[in-house]
Amino acid sequence: MTINLIGTGNVAWHLANQLAKIPTCTLQQIAGRSPEKEGDFKSFAGEIVTINALQPATITIIAVSDDVIENVSTLIPYQDTLVVHTSGSITIEAIAQNRKGVFYPLQSFSKNDTIDFTNIPMCIEATTQEDLEILQQLAMLFSTKVYHIDSHQRKQAHLAAVFVNNFTNHCYTIAQELCDTHQIPFELLHALVGKTAQKAIDHSPSEVQTGPAKRNDTKVINEHLNMLQQEDHKSIYQTLTASIIAHYGKEL
Amino acid sequence: MTINLIGTGNVAWHLANQLAKIPTCTLQQIAGRSPEKEGDFKSFAGEIVTINALQPATITIIAVSDDVIENVSTLIPYQDTLVVHTSGSITIEAIAQNRKGVFYPLQSFSKNDTIDFTNIPMCIEATTQEDLEILQQLAMLFSTKVYHIDSHQRKQAHLAAVFVNNFTNHCYTIAQELCDTHQIPFELLHALVGKTAQKAIDHSPSEVQTGPAKRNDTKVINEHLNMLQQEDHKSIYQTLTASIIAHYGKEL
């Protein structure tokens, strides 16, 4: 199986790094518009080429920003091979080629992050059974968790991922700011960060909700609102508290 | 060291369960108003007594709801021994006794939860150095992480814990609802839940923020808002997104 990779960002780097470890895959060429990134990718492919220099491969993976996927796909100088993108929120139809697919690793990729793909869910989609099987083969070389998810479900999963990753991480950031302001080490909260995540994995999160909002403890809620000094922190506290009260009030 | 425990709720149960494992501590008596809980506590103490039947102990731990701590402390039929409560948000002054303290395990305790105290931060406070040392001894029998935190800092830490635990868990709950609505298994997001928490522990959370709000990607943000059907989910999305944009916009 030969792979062409288009893109030189975080996702492209982590995919190239993983592909280099898989003996049954050949990372044939890497294309991108950032020749200054060549150093980062040198160990995976000799040089970064322009898209029009790509030669046909079994699968061409477009790992670029959402807003240029469609345009990039039209620049690929061959037809009749499988072309996939790696985005959570872009439909499969964005690919101009006749054989199209999606290869979406559901994870947040930061720079300098060590990624173990083994447990990362790989969400795949294709328009024919044959192409789905090719993608399935590739996905199983990355991870033990492969899901067939259509474009509609993938968009929803991506939205859910925003709540699970982006929004929880911002809650951590606010907690760290509160700690910093009052000379409390943020490590005091590390065990709770880990435990909260583990409980949500081991149970249904709604079964393990606790705290003043769940108890509708107006006294503590008002005290907390008075303690918060930033208006956006107050708004987040109020909005999430109102939603928790509405959610669990319904259950009574 | 002898311990009296007042309360028969989750925190009291987990404390009793841990105290029963420590050979150098004697759990002398348990007091509470819920004789029907006697079965749950039978292995730790013969019977649940009323508060006025308590005999003096080295430390008396009041593990009851925040709003009755003060009143309960006035009912203890002895003076001149150390009396502590276990609350994150109540000041040390709520204890009526002359020797007062706080013994606050910073963790969220659910029913039927298995608790390993070893890594749970124990926040302790007392009014004299002698009492602080007694509490320090007890705390070190529970955990390797003991923090001297005053009442002001403890309130702030408790507020930060609401963000880290209650609010993130509600974000997980919303993600699960989105998955359920669109026939996506929530386990698809389990790896991301774990990874997000681990990254916040390994790095400063603000360094690893990703997503459409961080990028100020208006197109994806508007698409997500259109996809959300519940008004409270929309409000949470908007409020957190605005705060993330404001936070990282400032940095540019």
Of B149, B179, B205, the one marking the end of a domain is B149
Q: Flag if A163 and B183 touch (Cβ within 8 Å).
A: no
Residue range(s) defining the domain that contains residue B213? 154-251
Of B149, B164, B191, the one marking the end of a domain is B149
Residues A134 and A55 both lie in one domain: yes
Name residues 1-60 of chain B within 8 A of A (Cβ).
none
Of A95, A115, A149, the one marking the end of a domain is A149
Residues A139 and A39 both lie in one domain: yes
Q: Which residues contact B222 (CB under 8 A, 6 or more apart)?
A: none
- Is B175 part of the contact surface with chain A (CB cutoff 8 Å)? yes
Q: What is the 3-state secondary structure (H, E, C) of chain A?
A: CEEEEECCCHHHHHHHHHHCCCCCCEEEEEECCCHHHHHHHCCCCCCEECHHHCCCCCEEEECCCHHHHHHHHHHCCCCCCEEEECCCCCCHHHCCCCCEEEEEECCCCCCCCCCCHHHCCEEEEECCHHHHHHHHHHHHHHCCCEEECCHHHHHHHHHHHHHHHHHHHHHHHHHHHHHHHCCCCHHHHHHHHHHHHHHHHHCCHHHHCCCCCCCCCHHHHHHHHHHCCCHHHHHHHHHHHHHHHHHHHHHC
Q: How many domains does chain A have?
A: 2
Position A228 scores a pLDDT of 98
Residues B119 and B135 both lie in one domain: yes
Tokens for B184? 């996506």
Position A126 scores a pLDDT of 98
Contact A16, A5 (CB under 8 A): yes
Contacts of B219 in chain A (CB under 8 A): 66-67
- Is B122 part of the contact surface with chain A (CB cutoff 8 Å)? no
Q: Flag if A164 and B171 touch (Cβ within 8 Å).
A: yes
Residue A251 has pLDDT above 80, yes or no: no
Sign (positive or negative) of CA dihedral A157, A162, A167, A168: positive
Position B41 scores a pLDDT of 86
Position B250 scores a pLDDT of 60
Residue A249 has pLDDT above 90, yes or no: no
Say which CATH number the domain at A234 has: 1.10.1040.20
Residues A162 and A132 both lie in one domain: no
Q: What is the mean pLDDT of residues B81-109?
A: 95
Instruction: Kindly indicate the confidence band of residue A43, based on its pLDDT and cuts at 50, 70 and 90.
Output: confident
Residues A143 and A212 both lie in one domain: no
Between CA A14 and CA A161 the distance in angstroms is: 19
Position B252 scores a pLDDT of 45
Residues B128 and B181 both lie in one domain: no
The pTM assigned to this predicted structure is: 0.89
Residues A132 and A162 both lie in one domain: no
In the numeric block, the tokens 């669109």 are attached to: B182
Residue-wise pLDDT for B11-66, tens only, equals: 999 999 999 999 999 999 999 988 787 788 888 877 889 999 999 999 999 999 99
Say which CATH number the domain at A135 has: 3.40.50.720
- Is B249 part of the contact surface with chain A (CB cutoff 8 Å)? no
Tokens for B27? 């759990």
Residues A230 and A195 both lie in one domain: yes
Query: What is the ipTM score, two decimals?
Result: 0.89
Residues A212 and A144 both lie in one domain: no
Position A35 scores a pLDDT of 75
- How deeply is B209 buried, as exposed, middle or buried, from its count of CB atoms within 10 A (0-12, 13-18, 19+)? buried
Position A250 scores a pLDDT of 60
Q: Kindly give the pairing relationship between strand B2-6 and strand B59-62.
A: parallel
Residues A134 and A163 both lie in one domain: no
Residues B84 and B31 both lie in one domain: yes
Contact B157, B107 (CB under 8 A): no
Residues B29 and B76 both lie in one domain: yes
Tokens for A188? 């005091």
